[in-house]
Structure 1
Amino acid sequence: MKMNEGVEWALHSCVNLCWLPEQAVPAAKLAAFYNLPAAYLNKQLQALTRAGILSSTPGPKGGFQLARFPEQISVLDIVVAIDGPDEAFRCSEILRDGPGGNATTDYRKTCLISQTMRTAELNWRRELAAATIADIVAKVERTFPATPENTRRWFEGLRT
C-alpha cells in the first residue's frame, strides 16, 4: 500500500499548528517551513478542513488552525481525510474464476488471503485510531525539547 505523501505533510502541519495555537497560519507559510509546494499542501489542508480537523479563516490575516483539541485528532482521522476511507486491499475474488471456483461463494469472506489482509488492515487502522496528534506532540517534546520553541520562532520570522 502506498500512502499519499499529503498524509505526511498534513500530520507535520497539524503537529506544528499545536505550537501555534493563537494564530491562523497561511498554507504558504506552512509549506515554506518544509519547502513544500504551497498549492498542493493547501489542497491537503482544505481536506482537513472539510473533515473538521482544521478551521480556515479567509483574508490577509487568515490561514489554518486546529479545529479540535489535539487529543481529539487521531492519526487515522488525518489518513482518512487525505486518502479517503477505502480499504487498502480490495479482494477482487479471483478465486471465483479459478479452477473449482463457485459463482455463488463470497470469496471476500472465505478467501484466506482476503482474511489475512483484512486482519492486517484492521490492526493498522486500530493503531492509527489509537494514536493522536497530542501523543505525537508529547513524544516530540520529550525527544526534541527545543522543537516547539524553534518552530514558534521560525513562524514568528526569527528563523533558527
Structure 2
Amino acid sequence: MSEGVEWALHSCVNLAWSGPDRAVSAARLAAWHALPPAYLNKQLQALARAGILTSTPGPRGGFRLARPLAAISLMDVVAAVEGPDEAFRCAEIRQQGPGGGAPDGAGAGAGAGVGDAAADAADCAIAHAMIRAELAWRRALAAQNLDEIRQQAERQAPRAPERLRAWLAAQ
C-alpha cells in the first residue's frame, strides 16, 4: 500500500478538525505534516473523485469533507487512493516451466485439462489463501470508520484539533 493512503487518512481527520465550514488547500494540509504538496494533492483529488471530499477551486478554495467521518470507512479511502483492484493477482506460474500443467491428480475426471487456466486457478492453494486473507483485510477496513480513528487520535493527543485550528487561523 502506498504512503498516499496514510496521507489521505490523516488529511480526512485534519479536515474534520479544521471545522465544517473551512476549506483547506492541499498546500496547507501538506505543510501541516511537511509533505510534498503536489503528491498530496493527487491523493486529495482521488478522494474528491470518490465522493469523500469536495473541492472548491480558487484562491479561497480547498478541500472539505463531503460526508461525516462516521460515513467514511478506511476501505473507502484505500479504494479511492489505491484503486479497486485486488492486491494479489495470481499469475498462474504453475503453468510455466518444466513443472507446468495441472499438478498430479488435479482435475482428474473433472474434464479440466492442462490448458484450462480457470479451473486450475480455482484449485490453486496459494491463490485461495491470498484471496481469503485479502477478503478478511478488506472486511476489517470496511468495518472501521474514520470517526473511530478521529476519536482514538484525540484520546492519544487531546490538543491536536485545537493546535491544527490555531495553526490554520494563523496563516
Per the normalisation by structure 1, the TM-score is: 0.92
Tell me which residue corresponds to 1:151: 164
Do residues 115 (structure 1) and 114 (structure 2) align?
no
- How far the C-alpha of 1:151 sits from its partner, in A, is 1.5
Structure with max Cα Rg: 2
Do residues 71 (structure 1) and 84 (structure 2) align?
no
Q: Alignment partner of 2:85: what SS?
A: coil
Larger mean Cα displacement after TM superposition, 146-155 or 52-61: 146-155
Structure 1 residues not aligned, in runs of 5+: none
Tell me which residue corresponds to 1:57: 56
- How far the C-alpha of 1:4 sits from its partner, in A, is 1.3
Tell me which residue corresponds to 1:80: 79
- How far the C-alpha of 1:143 sits from its partner, in A, is 2.1
Structure 2 residues not aligned, in runs of 5+: 103-113
- How far the C-alpha of 1:140 sits from its partner, in A, is 1.0
Distance 2:161 2:59 in 1: 25
Distance 1:127 1:100 in 2: 36
Distance 1:78 1:24 in 2: 19
What percent of counterpart residues are identical? 56
* CA deviation string 1:56-104 (max 9, x = no partner): 0111110000001111111111111111011111011122333452212
**CA separation of 1:49/1:99 partners in 2, compared to 1, >3 Å: closer, same or farther?**
closer
| Residues 18-37 of structure 1 aligned to structure 2 (within 5 Å) | 18-20=16-18, 21-37=20-36
For 1:19, give the aligned amino acid.
Answer: W
Tell me which residue corresponds to 2:106: none
Distance 2:147 2:75 in 1: 13
Total equivalences in the alignment: 156
